[in-house]
A and B are shown apart, each in its own frame.
Chain A
Amino acid sequence: KAGVTQTPRYLIKTRGQQVTLSCSPISGHRSVSWYQQTPGQGLQFLFEYFSETQRNKGNFPGRFSGRQFSNSRSEMNVSTLELGDSALYLCASSPQGAPAEAFFGQGTRLTVV
């Protein structure tokens, strides 16, 4: 059974640009959550999607957005990039009705210059 796949693994972008990150959950998992990890703030929840609907959103500005497709794959988008957006972005997938499971991908390391 394949794990959670995040692409790309590494990205370098310039301030002001936008970026899209992708996450393919474990087959059969319909919940996808996104987290941002920085040395200063640690791991912070961005948002959670289930059946193409955003069910929960963390305390991030509107520049951070996401969506989920019918095959449960999810994308997150960050517009007007700032230096402070440099971080490791992690995606987690969970099956419905089994919140004892939350498996993460390898993450996308975004560097904004």
Chain B
Amino acid sequence: AQKITQTQPGMFVQEKEAVTLDCTYDTSDQSYGLFWYKQPSSGEMIFLIYQGSYDEQNATEGRYSLNFQKARKSANLVISASQLGDSAMYFCAMRERRGGAGSYQLTFGKGTKLSVIP
């Protein structure tokens, strides 16, 4: 079973509009973390935002915010005021404790390709 599900393979948004990218996750751990990354065509994974499982407030970083609904196990990324440079693949990832003491592992979703239209 997939641990991270991104149901939108592709999304289009008009420049200056807001867009929500969906992410649901599955874990039995009490302590975990959720990340969103942006991957332009160059390949680099760019960190956008992080939400810890115990964080009560939704995370925000500039134009990015994370809509965290723990009971529903969802962690949707909201991008406000879209820009042409936002066109890229977006990945949701979950950090879980695995392996030796202090070791963490990221599990990624399949990604959503966002295209911003002028």
Contact = CB atoms under 8 A, between A and B. Distances in A.
B70 to A, nearest CB: 17
A81 interface: no
Given A48-B99, A50-B102, A56-B100, A100 B110 contact: no
A50 to B, nearest CB: 7
Contacts of B46: 104
A78 to B, nearest CB: 18
B72 interface: no
B105 A104 contact: no
Q: How many of chain B's residues touch chain A, expressed as a range? A: 20 to 34
A106 B44 contact: yes
Contacts of B100: 50, 53, 55-56
Given A42-B108, A45-B105, A100-B33, A106 B43 contact: yes
Contacts of A66: none
Contact of B47 (A58, A104, A106): A104
Contact of A102 (B35, B103, B110, B111): B35
Interface string A69-83: 000000000000000
